[in-house]
């Protein structure tokens, strides 16, 4: 009975980690989810400009996750620890996509909107201190119902995610940690 309860709690925690929480306290987890999602989207190799946006977005969300984790715990995560977390987030999103692609499309819409909100703030900042403040205290991600993307934008997100998931699956769902392990050999 104890094992069933433990497994049930783990499943609840794991499922809760997929959806962006759209709360101040949830931004750390939201940033990790978005970092993993943008990492998967880097599987789209062309056009290169789009791939660069995904790479930059993944790095930005990874940085935000690390900073918010430090604020919460007082401990700095190593690059390896962040890489493992991002890899696990990516793999969970891949599993979720296999079961329910629409939920991952919704995550992408939220992540992209949040990235745009953060980018607007970063563009307005005039000093390094202002940049640091934004990274340590980014805006809260918006709830899906408040975003209302156009049908064309939603279709574009769905297509990008479909292409990325196919390319990523074709590569064996290669993660950041797989790359790091290869470089050690």
Distance, CA of 154 to CA of 158 (rounded, Å): 6
C-alpha pair distances (Å), 183 with each of 6, 34, 38, 55, 179 = 36, 25, 22, 19, 6
Dump pLDDT digits (tens) for 13-56: 444 445 688 899 999 999 999 999 999 999 998 889 998 999 99
pTM: 0.84
CA R_g for the chain? 17
What percent of the chain clears pLDDT 70, i.e. is strictly above it? 86
């Amino acid at each position: 009975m104890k094992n069933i309860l433990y497994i049930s709690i783990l499943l609840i925690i794991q499922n809760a980690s997929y959806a962006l929480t759209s709360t101040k306290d949830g931004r750390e987890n939201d940033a990790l989810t978005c970092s993993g999602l943008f990492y998967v989207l880097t599987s789209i190799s062309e056009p290169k400009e789009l791939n660069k946006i995904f790479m930059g977005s993944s790095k930005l969300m990874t940085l935000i996750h690390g900073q918010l984790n430090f604020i919460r715990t007082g401990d700095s995560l190593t690059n390896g620890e962040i890489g493992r977390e991002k890899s696990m987030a990516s793999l969970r999103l891949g599993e979720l996509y296999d079961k329910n692609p629409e939920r991952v499309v919704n995550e992408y819409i939220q992540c992209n909107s949040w990235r745009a909100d953060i980018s607007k703030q970063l563009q307005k900042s005039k000093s390094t201190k202002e940049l640091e403040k934004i990274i340590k205290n980014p805006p809260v991600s918006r709830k899906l119902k408040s975003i209302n993307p156009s049908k064309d934008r939603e279709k574009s997100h769905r297509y990008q995610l479909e292409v990325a998931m196919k390319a990523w699956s074709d590569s064996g769902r290669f993660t950041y940690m797989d790359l790091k392990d290869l470089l050690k050999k």
